[in-house]
Amino acid sequence: MQGVKQLPAASKRQKNVTPGYRLRNFRENFPYLTMILPAVLVVFLFNYLPIYGVLIAFQDFMPGDKILSDTTIWVGFENFARFFNDVQFWPLMKNTFILCIVGFVIGFPLPIIVSLALNALKRKKTGKVFQTIYTAPHFISLVVLVGMLQLFFGRYGLVNNIAASLGAERVSYFLESSAFRPLYILSSNWQDFGWSAVIYIAALSNVDPVQHEAAMIDGASRFQRVLHVDIPAIMPMISVMLIMSIGGLMGVGYEKALLMQTDGNLAVSELIATYVYKRGLTGVPDQAYATAIGLFNSVINVVLLIIANTTSKRFSENSLW
């Protein structure tokens, strides 16, 4: 009897895959497909098409050479071996790893805490004002951001002026290696946490108010409701964002580090990304070597992404695939 009951559903599924259904479905979704087409083209042109250039990591490539031709010289993993034997290898790995790990530990929970705090405000208009204030720094360019840091922490900046008025000596923070990481990490989190919080605020807006009412009837405090209602509701989003953050852990960009880099902090500010930029685009370009370093860094990110996704899938129902 159970099999007989399932026949209509199976018949319906079989009917849905007819050519007429596909054409009708395409026509219904055509406006939406048209809307996403520009984004698909941008991703294809700037994310997928350049993958072809990865081949030069395995070549003795010089600027002006064709990537694939009869004169192409293939060197296998020689460029990778050069990087592993480079005196800069371990300092670069250390600097990048420390900057990314500390930034992740501080930056990942911050938007979650902020979104929970804003959601707990009784006056929603006040929450929207704070949300706007927190989100605004995201739209500041990195050049302007580093300029702001110079105004505040330069030798004759605001912080030093206040310190000098109190009798302390002026400190050139941008020349101090010990100041680079705190300035970089704190300014990055200040710029990004508000924008990241928008995702969690959107997820919290879908929480059923009935759950909060039931918890209040049971005598739950505001903190207990956050702990047992809000956080479980956004846990799938937290898991996905955690996986994506771990997957891009070593993907720190070169722009900000390069703008903040000085001779005094070079020992800690030289990252994989800045080294790739210098070796590939400045001086005598060694693009094959720079591509090999960048590819190695990307492989690390892919491995971290797979590990994070597999772990999340094993211990929870949330994963990217």
Could you tell me how far CA 43 lies from the centroid of its own chain? 16
pLDDT, residue 131, reads 84
Q: Which residues contact 168 (CB under 8 A, 6 or more apart)?
A: none
pLDDT value at position 7?
44
CA distance 190 to 99: 15
Q: Which residues of the chain have pLDDT under 70?
A: 1-19
Tokens at 276, concatenated: 């790739």
> Residue 10: what pLDDT?
46
CA distance 174 to 155: 8
- Calculate the alpha carbon distances from 7 to 12, 20, 194 in Å: 9, 22, 51
Q: How far apart are CA 21 and CA 23, in angstroms?
A: 5
* pLDDT, tens only, 112-150: 999 998 888 877 788 788 888 889 999 999 999 999 999
- What would the pLDDT profile of 225-277 be if each residue is shown by its tens digit? 999 999 999 999 999 999 999 998 888 888 999 999 999 999 999 999 999 99
Mean pLDDT of the chain, nearest integer: 88
Q: Are 55 and 68 in contact (CB under 8 A)?
A: yes
What is the model's pLDDT at position 28? Answer: 87
Using alpha carbons, select from 138, 314, 186 the residue that is nearest to residue 239.
Answer: 314
Cβ of 256: how many Cβ atoms within 10 Å? 22
Tell me the two tokens of residue 59: 């070549």
The distance in angstroms from the start CA to the end CA of the chain is: 36
Residues 6+ positions from 261 with CB-CB distance below 8 Å: 269, 270, 274
Q: Hey, which residues does 59 pair with through a beta bridge?
A: 74
Q: Given this model, what pLDDT does residue 182 score?
A: 95
Domains contained in the chain, CATH given: 19-58 (no CATH), 87-315 (1.10.3720.10)
Calculate the alpha carbon distances from 33 to 38, 44, 99 in Å.
10, 15, 40
Please tell me the predicted confidence (pLDDT) of residue 160.
92
pLDDT for 57 equals: 94
- For residue 2, the model assigns a pLDDT of 44
pLDDT for the residue 21: 79
